[in-house]
A and B are shown apart, each in its own frame.
Chain A
């Protein structure tokens, strides 16, 4: 399957994380954070999701790039067997 799930998934979490953290900065000190015990839940959790999303996205892109490089050489399997 040549669609690596980590690419769209990473992209989605990156976007959600970016939206949350930007919204968090824009609303800092707002009364809406009384619910979350005074913690700016949007900003901090947005950062976490942003980091997770970017990691997934980069990992997915890398493995897709690696697969694309491998494809012109389907003899790869025999080569590793020769190495034994």
Chain B
């Protein structure tokens, strides 16, 4: 049972006060829509860089990576070494000149400049839906976690409120805070709070990892307590059946590295918006590279807690006999059944209807991996620092939501409202629309949060959504930026085909040990993958491939745009950016190479 004292509440309250305070302090700088939606394009590179990774440091990162660490072991670090770092270097060096240089205010707007109106409309609509969905998942996950950890139970009991209201209370609380600071300070507020949350996560999770490692006996102790294959990132990836994630090297390299990783880090406006808010081209190009440096070290912070949770001994109900002044005293520690059936600190999943542990097709209990990291917090942190850890967790959920909400209000206002609903309004009008779009976006997220989610791993759910929408997208940007022949009709046809292919592939395949339905195979099962992760990666590969092929074919059949219209949008037609006056080792290229070398070193360490 969670025992929070006044110190924990004080720290949590302090965080909320500062978050809202930053919003109020920024309100007077919000004069034009550019200030509100693009942070005035005036922020320093390091702030945007930390916000760049922090925008992604929401639920799927902190809880999801811990869950994957517990489920798949160190192979999860592939999401960093392969799935993020190369894409971040690529977007900084090669793609940012077009995003920033084109003066587009959003990623869909870039698509209109490079291709045409319908491609932009398609992307803007799917993106708007996706951000609301992601923000809703974040909200739902947070409310569920608060319930599971009994964070507010004491508070509710003290106030005499009905504990059934905790779920709604959590959702309303987070929604009101996020809404307030974005409504007041726009993107600047979101970026500032993302940086604040970045440091808060480190402050909350670094002591957790240190304590966990100390308890298990250091790195060698961890090695001794988990299966051998959990400690390797690369060993066994030659074949799907010999590594915990159940995926082979082509799936990882192509699916995660080339398609999903790039699709996310290079095209998702959620992260790109922070780079586009920086003060000049050189800064904008450095933003993803600065972000990549802490990203390299994040596996230690977010994956290790999950792995440690699996490695620690499983608690059992036990009785200790003590002799107190000649009296035999029996202390019985009762451990709930679902905890005893779990592994380490990861409990078994409970069916909410029957109250019994849920089983897979082999009859083994399903583990609730999402609780791996939170249970570590409860296990190691005494009151005081526990408040800090829980605040870090709450902050990560809220900033994940905030990034989605600012991306949503920008795309809605510029790409949907200004383009199709009300053209030629005043700047003040669009800023007001942006503020009300923030309210609308949050209300839609709340609606999403109330829709139930059936997966046992948030990461898998989000990867699935991303693979339908984002995976085909990267092919469009790659061809658009580096092949001047690509046309608007082709990009549109390619995107549609790509997404349809993804849906079709998901409907025709199924991971082993899963029932047909939301996990796939809802049309017919023609192929079994070793894991849902493998299925997701291959869905992405098929979507990307279909988009690429269709875009190339349709481009060759349709009329190309005159080259004069594509200057600044396509690589071969854009003059090289003038060299900055910095010394060579401060250039984005040098920084990019340094980041890649560090990433290689990390991969060798985790081999």
Which residues of A does B touch, CB under 8 Å? 1-3, 5, 8-9, 11-13, 15-16, 19-20, 23-24, 27, 30, 32-33, 35-37, 39, 41-42, 45, 49, 52
Contacts and interface: CB of A to CB of B under 8 A. Distances in A.
Contacts, number: 89
Contact of A35 (B21, B199, B381, B388): B381
Chain A binding site: helix, strand, loop or mixed by DSSP?
A: helix
A36 B380 contact: yes
B214 interface: yes
A37 B385 contact: no
A16 B384 contact: no
A16 B211 contact: no
Contacts of B40: 1
B346 interface: no
B196 A19 contact: no
Contacts of B29: 1-3
Interface string B181-222: 000000010001001100100010001000100110000000
Contact of B382 (A2, A32, A49): A32
Given A2-B29, A8-B22, A19-B10, A36 B382 contact: yes
Nearest to B35: A1
A52 B385 CA distance: 16
Interface of B: 7, 10-11, 14-15, 18, 21-22, 25-26, 29, 39-40, 42-43, 47, 188, 192, 195-196, 199, 203, 207, 211, 214-215, 379-385, 388
Nearest to A30: B382
B14 A16 contact: yes
A36 B377 CA distance: 10
Nearest to B279: A1
B379 A35 contact: yes
B192 A41 contact: no
B42 A49 contact: no
A41 B381 contact: yes
Contacts of B380: 35-37, 41
A16 B214 CA distance: 25
B35 to A, nearest CB: 9
Contacts of A27: 382, 384
Contacts of A33: 382
A31 B374 CA distance: 22
A5 B192 contact: yes
B203 A49 contact: yes
B211 A39 contact: yes
Contacts of B211: 36-37, 39, 41
B533 to A, nearest CB: 33
